[in-house]
Amino acid sequence: MRGMRFLAAMCAAMVLAGGAARAASHITFVTDWKAQAEHGGFYEALALGLYKAHGLDVAIREGGPSVNVPQLLAGGAADFGIGSNGFIPLNMVRAGVPVKAVMAVFQKDPQVLITHPRSDVKSLADMKGKPIMIADASTVAFWPWLKAKYGFSDTQIRKYTFNLAPFLVDAKAIQEGYLTSEPYTIEQQGHFKPQVFLLADNGYPGYANMVVVPQKWIANNPAAVQAFVDATREGWKRYLFGDPAPADALIKKDNPDMTDALIAQAIAKMKSYGIVESGDAVKAGIGDMTDVRWKVFFDTMASEGLYAKSLPYKNAYDLRFVTPHR
């Protein structure tokens, strides 16, 4: 038995790019929220043994409302993590924390604005001047972009507390949401199909669901980082276009509140909206990032005063782990 384990470990190590990464490098990977379909590719890679086959011993740690991924990475309590959007790595650059995005699973940020069916709002531009419920964090995220592109103003802001009741009872309400979450819940609870406006399909330039990694890993064990990226790419491909059941079982184990119906509709929306496979990722592969996209995102946010224009924004990401696949 020991001989078989030794041979298995040796074979796994040889799969790694260049054979340079240490066999069974342990990685604690923390997600940005409770287990859900939006994490499916990571769980698929774990469930199918893809990380193990790439010489990694990966443990996925579920996030949640009290889990701060940047703090965990900065303090060494986790090895890798999910950066929910482009602001996460940029904020870490501003704070002087050496952590970088190494892949972007979501080519489109799933952020949406949602309305009831109504004739006076058929586009984001139509929402100018109307009250919109957004979370506090959104005031320094996508809101400045809406102000710059569509002339929105802070006087429109109403507080969103992640409670759908105010929206459901007000036919004139507009609120933020996540493509794969709130619209489905609104349909189930309100018994109507809301209008959903995906910001990314209207020019919002940010990546989302990024793998963020401390610089010490990139410097000291780049082969392990490459192995994680490669296994994760394969995990997402199999999750979206193969059998998601292995990952779903782990997701529901970590998050018993998750249902098959909620997972299924999230997968369908990720596929139909091109959340994972669109833009550069169509040819370059899942997780792709480019300097051009990062520059557009940074320039947009810096022009709105969210960042100093002198910020070395390129320190927020490292393309070496996705560019070899171009």
Whether pLDDT at 73 is above 80: yes
Q: How far apart are CA 202 and CA 124, in angstroms?
A: 8
Q: Which domains does the chain have, with CATH numbers?
A: 2-106+206-325 (3.40.190.10), 111-202 (3.40.190.10)
Q: Summarize the confidence of residues 219-238 as an average pLDDT.
A: 98
Q: How far apart are CA 325 and CA 24, in angstroms?
A: 24
**Smallest Cα–Cα separation from 145: which of 295, 293, 304, 308?**
304
Q: How far apart are CA 319 and CA 314, in angstroms?
A: 10
Q: Which percentage of the chain shows pLDDT scores above 90?
A: 90
128-141 in b/e burial notation, b at 16+ Cβ within 10 A?
eeeebbbeeebeeb
Q: In this predicted structure, what is the pLDDT of residue 324?
A: 65
Q: Is 123 exposed, middle or buried (0-12, 13-18, 19+ CB in 10 A)?
A: exposed
Q: Which percentage of the chain shows pLDDT scores above 70?
A: 92
pLDDT, tens only, 4-45: 333 333 333 333 344 444 457 999 999 999 999 999 999 999
**Average pLDDT of the residues of the chain:** 92
Whether pLDDT at 261 is above 50: yes
pLDDT, tens only, 145-162: 999 999 999 999 999 999
159 in Cβ contact with 138 (< 8 Å): no
